[in-house]
Chains A and B, each alone.
Chain A
Amino acid sequence: GENVEQHPSTLSVQEGDSAVIKCTYSDSASNYFPWYKQELGKGPQLIIDIRSNVGEKKDQRIAVTLNKTAKHFSLHITETQPEDSAVYFCAAFNDYKLSFGAGTTVTVRA
């Protein structure tokens, strides 16, 4: 089955700096890669996604890149703000299910 690895597990950044989270996947058949943000005590919420036929996608301060050859994808958050503090999960869709990474706890320091 699909195996998604996510790094780092924790990330502390100064407000205004950028944050980068990286994920790798194992199955080349995976074709959809969403990123979810989970705030304390809440369920995960989709923030951005990318399909296998696209290399990069941007939405305001958030961008995602995909390298199919290397089987890795990354989340970039620019100009971080305190409300960006949360746990972020990457995922890969293959066959019938999403396989999630273990999560990255992002803390934005004021």
Chain B
Amino acid sequence: NAGVTQTPKFRVLKTGQSMTLLCAQDMNHEYMYWYRQDPGMGLRLIHYSVGEGTTAKGEVPDGYNVSRLKKQNFLLGLESAAPSQTSVYFCASSYKAGQFEQFFGPGTRLTVL
């Protein structure tokens, strides 16, 4: 099993450009999450999904949109990138919420110039 995979691994954008980050999991997990990791701030939840066709806002959702059209995929979109969105983005999945392990992908390093 590949676990959680993320595409792309690196990306450089100019301010105002758009892009989509793809997350895929092969563990048949119901829950999926998008986090951003910034120096000295740990991981912060952007959006999450409790199942196919559902999404919800996390702690820092502004400037991002998500979609979960298929159970195994969770997409994170930036419609108009800003330098403040320069970060490392991690996708995670879990069987359920609460006291269940979250499995993380390898991350996408995004730089917005």
Q: Which of B4, B45, B48, B98 has a CB less than 8 Å from the CB of A43?
A: B4
Q: Are A97 and B104 in contact (CB under 8 A)?
A: no
Report Cα–Cα, A96/B58, bound state, in Å. Answer: 9
Contact with A along B26-56 (1 / 0, CB 8 A): 0000000000000011111100100000001
Once A43-B4, A43-B90, A103-B42 are accepted as A-B contacts, the answer to whether A97 and B101 lie under 8 Å apart by CB is no
A61 in contact (CB, < 8 A): no
- B97 at interface, CB cutoff 8 A: yes
| B21 → chain A closest CB, angstroms | 14
Counting CB contacts under 8 A, is A14 at the interface? no
Asked whether A49 lies within 8 Å of B101 as measured between CB atoms, the reply is yes
Q: Which residues of B contact A73 (CB under 8 A)?
A: none
Asked if B106 lies at the interface with its beta carbon under 8 angstroms from chain A, I say yes
Number of residues from B at the complex interface, CB < 8 A = 22
Please report the C-alpha to C-alpha distance between residue A97 and residue B44 in the assembled complex, in whole angstroms: 10
Chain B residues lying within 8 Å of A98, measured Cβ to Cβ, are: 43, 45, 102
The reply on A67 being an interface residue by CB < 8 A is no
Q: Are A1 and B59 in contact (CB under 8 A)?
A: yes
Q: Which of B72-104 contact A (CB under 8 A)?
A: 90, 92, 97-99, 101-102, 104
| Cβ-defined partner of A42 (8 Å) among B40, B59, B99, B107 | B107
Task: Tell me whether A43 and B101 are in contact in the complex, defined as CB-CB below 8 angstroms, given that A9-B40, A97-B45, A97-B58 are known contacts.
Answer: no
Q: A42-B106, A42-B107, A43-B105 are in contact. Are A89 and B99 (CB under 8 A)?
A: no
Chain A residue at minimum C-beta to C-beta distance from B99: A32
A13 interface contact, C-beta 8 A: no
Contact between chains at B4 and A102 (CB < 8 Å): no
Of residues A42, A46, A93, A96, which shows the largest number of chain B Cβ atoms within 10 Å of its Cβ? A96
* Chain B residues in the interface with A (C-beta under 8 A): 4, 40-45, 48, 56, 58-59, 90, 92, 97-99, 101-102, 104-107
